[in-house]
Chains A and B, each alone.
Chain A
Amino acid sequence: MTGFTGSIQLVYVVAAACFVMGLHLMNSPATARRGNQVSIAGMVIAGVATLILMIHDGTVTTTGWIVLIAGVAVGSAIGLYTARGVQMTAMPQLVSAFNSVGGGAAALVAIFGYIDAESKAGGVLGTTTVFTVLDVLIGSVTFSGSIIAAGKLQGFISGSPIIFKGGRLLNVALGVVAIGTAAFLFSTASLPALLILVLAALAFGVMMVLPIGGADMPVVISLLNAFTGTAVAMAGFVIQNWALIVAGALVGASGGILTKLMADAMNRSLANIILGGFGTGDSAVALDAAVDAQVRSIAADDAAIQLAYAAKVIIVPGYGLAAAQAQHGVAELAKILEERGIEVSYAIHPVAGRMPGHMNVLLAEANVPYPQLREMEEINPEFGRADVALVIGANDVTNPAARRPGNDISGMPILDVDQAKSIIVIKRSMGTGYAGMENELYFDPKTSMYFADAKKAMSELASAVKTLVG
């Protein structure tokens, strides 16, 4: 390492430090915006260092500059346009799309590095091959897998698990091809073999995500996020760039942690989710304890009376709320209740939404102040003091059956909604949730069911409360 490239590496370390500090500032909503700015500063520093390196090197051709400038301009415009226009409900798709292009770019960096090294005397170095193979493999899987995930979330591809005959056999075949070509590459430098590896990995990415159900997307997105990070870190090894190594490792760690959190919150192992086929909804389980029990149905006025005369209300939002676009209606109702001096908070289950923390963003967009958004562990002890728990579009995460062994959701962390003094569940029908199980909460004598579309229910409740209290 010459003095010059050494100095540039140090500048990259400064950029990497900015990324770490930026992430550190995200430990509170109050400082998170500054965190994002620090992170941007790091990116600008890394960008400038790269430009200096390129100019100093002096081998970038005029065509090269034009191509790169055009590429950056086009990419920035696309990024800016989508980021500005995207709906908050569509965040998971966007994150998936960015995972895809990030993984794709990382794979391209390694592929070019390979082509370039092969054309020179001495061919490709031994240890570099390991990182090239890993980068190409992980980057390509992420690229195609994330496109499928985004397509599923956006509705271009069916959200239900897509399984076809021989799918698993094809996966095994692709795995054998990938491992075979990888092994071959360690002994022989061969560009065609590398391209076969790319194709096998791309196909594997598609095959990996297709059989996974829409409701498992929080796990899939987190996992693909971890993959992208790892691919970028591997690209860092290939081109010996510390900024890529550090940034990639940070993202890999983050994606890994979120993957584990999501899988735990769904009470499923990662292997179980990846092997797929779950969430088809046709595996209706016979209900055991409460088979003959009746549910109590109420109208908007009754629900409004309960809410208007409560002292403490906990709202439990689920994905059904976001699907019905009712988040603004909920915030409006909460505001009316608060004006009456009622304490309102929101109990957010980790998997309420289509990606980690998604529900918080949707409610923040509806102007719900963040101190009211409470995590599961934090709010669970408070249900006992709540006069009304208002469950909107959430199902399995409120089912007390999870506390008992011997059923599909046993051991799944749930919100202790049944501890509240009374419970109002807003739901369109008695249909089962994602786990295909009856929710025992609905048969609780304290529970009243208010059958309506979440958005309509919110405006009805709001006007009923207003009329009631003048």
Chain B
Amino acid sequence: MSTTLVTDLTIFILALLVGIEVIGKVPATLHTPLMSATNSIHGIVLAGALLIGVSAHNVVGYVLAFIAAVFAAANVVGGYVVTGRMLKMFRRKVPAQPAAAQATAPELNGKTRAGDAR
């Protein structure tokens, strides 16, 4: 067994344990945004898709690179945008007026930060 493989496996196992530890603390209220956030994180496969380009020098390579890049980019961009959209909706207090929600948003943010302890 090569050193590289041992290193890679070590990183994998440790990351798995860190993941279990960190995710276990996320409240059920946020499970949908959590899933959406992890969704965008696995969009890191975009790095892999881009690196296909390093050795893609024929039609098959280009086609695979293109499809993989489309898939992964949609995953990353869409995932982060929709997670942000969802998290924006979680407010500590009811906005004063639905129409004035835009205007009061910064003030609400301030309050939210101050109340980190929940």
**Contact across chains for A83 and B12 when beta carbons are under 8 A apart:** no
| Chain B 1-35 interface 0/1 with A at a Cβ cutoff of 8 Å (1 = within) | 11011001001110111111011111111111111
The reply to whether the CB of A64 lies closer than 8 angstroms to some CB of chain B is yes
Task: Give the bracket for the number of chain A residues in contact with chain B.
Answer: 35 or more
CA distance A371 to B117 in the complex (A): 12
**Contact across chains for B74 and A23 when beta carbons are under 8 A apart:** no
**Contact across chains for A83 and B88 when beta carbons are under 8 A apart:** no
Query: What is the chain A residue whose CB lies nearest that of B13?
Result: A249
The reply to whether the CB of A311 lies closer than 8 angstroms to some CB of chain B is no
**Contact across chains for B116 and A30 when beta carbons are under 8 A apart:** yes
Which residues on the A side are within 8 Å of B16 (C-beta)?
249-250, 252-253
One of A44-52, A152-160, A458-466 contacting the partner = A44-52
**Contact across chains for B48 and A106 when beta carbons are under 8 A apart:** yes
The reply to whether the CB of A19 lies closer than 8 angstroms to some CB of chain B is yes
The reply to whether the CB of A193 lies closer than 8 angstroms to some CB of chain B is no
**Contact across chains for A253 and B20 when beta carbons are under 8 A apart:** yes
Query: What is the chain B residue whose CB lies nearest that of A355?
Result: B32
The reply to whether the CB of A240 lies closer than 8 angstroms to some CB of chain B is yes
**Contact across chains for A70 and B86 when beta carbons are under 8 A apart:** no
**Contact across chains for A245 and B50 when beta carbons are under 8 A apart:** no
CA distance A228 to B72 in the complex (A): 12
CA distance A228 to B41 in the complex (A): 11
**Contact across chains for B70 and A71 when beta carbons are under 8 A apart:** yes
**Contact across chains for A236 and B48 when beta carbons are under 8 A apart:** yes
**Contact across chains for A91 and B32 when beta carbons are under 8 A apart:** yes
Q: How far is the CB of A102 from chain B (nearest CB, A)?
A: 5
**Contact across chains for A360 and B56 when beta carbons are under 8 A apart:** no
One of A93-101, A177-185, A197-205, A448-456 contacting the partner = A93-101
The reply to whether the CB of A308 lies closer than 8 angstroms to some CB of chain B is no
Q: How far is the CB of B38 from chain A (nearest CB, A)?
A: 4
Name A's interface SS: helix
Q: How far is the CB of B34 from chain A (nearest CB, A)?
A: 6
CA distance A20 to B20 in the complex (A): 11
Which residues on the B side are within 8 Å of A228 (C-beta)?
39, 42
The reply to whether the CB of A309 lies closer than 8 angstroms to some CB of chain B is no
Q: How far is the CB of B114 from chain A (nearest CB, A)?
A: 9
Which residues on the B side are within 8 Å of A397 (C-beta)?
none
CA distance A68 to B64 in the complex (A): 10
Which residues on the B side are within 8 Å of A237 (C-beta)?
8, 12
Q: Interface residue count for B (Cβ, 8 Å)?
A: 91
Known contacts A105-B48, A236-B48, A361-B33; is-contact A40 B80 (Cβ 8 Å): yes
**Contact across chains for B73 and A75 when beta carbons are under 8 A apart:** yes
**Residue in A64, A127, A250, A373 whose CB lies within 8 Å of B2:** A127
**Residue in B27, B54, B80 whose CB lies within 8 Å of A375:** B27
The reply to whether the CB of B51 lies closer than 8 angstroms to some CB of chain A is yes
**Residue in B55, B66, B93 whose CB lies within 8 Å of A59:** B55
**Residue in A39, A59, A242 whose CB lies within 8 Å of B37:** A39
Q: How far is the CB of B64 from chain A (nearest CB, A)?
A: 5
**Residue in B8, B17, B26, B79 whose CB lies within 8 Å of A83:** B79
**Contact across chains for B5 and A127 when beta carbons are under 8 A apart:** yes
**Contact across chains for B30 and A32 when beta carbons are under 8 A apart:** yes
The reply to whether the CB of A243 lies closer than 8 angstroms to some CB of chain B is yes
CA distance A86 to B95 in the complex (A): 23
* Residues of chain A whose beta carbon lies under 8 Å from any beta carbon of chain B: 1, 12, 15-16, 19-20, 22-24, 26-33, 35-36, 39-40, 43, 46-47, 49-51, 53-54, 57, 59-61, 63-65, 67-68, 70-76, 78-80, 82-84, 86, 88, 91, 94-95, 98-99, 101-102, 104-106, 108-109, 111-112, 115-116, 127, 221-222, 225, 228-229, 232-233, 235-237, 239-258, 261, 335, 348, 350, 353, 355-358, 360-361, 364-365, 367-371, 373, 375-376
Q: List 6 A-B contacts (CB under 8 A).
A: A28-B118, A32-B33, A68-B49, A76-B73, A98-B79, A357-B32
* Residues of chain B whose beta carbon lies under 8 Å from any beta carbon of chain A: 1-2, 4-5, 8, 11-13, 15-20, 22-57, 60-62, 64-95, 98, 112-113, 115-116, 118
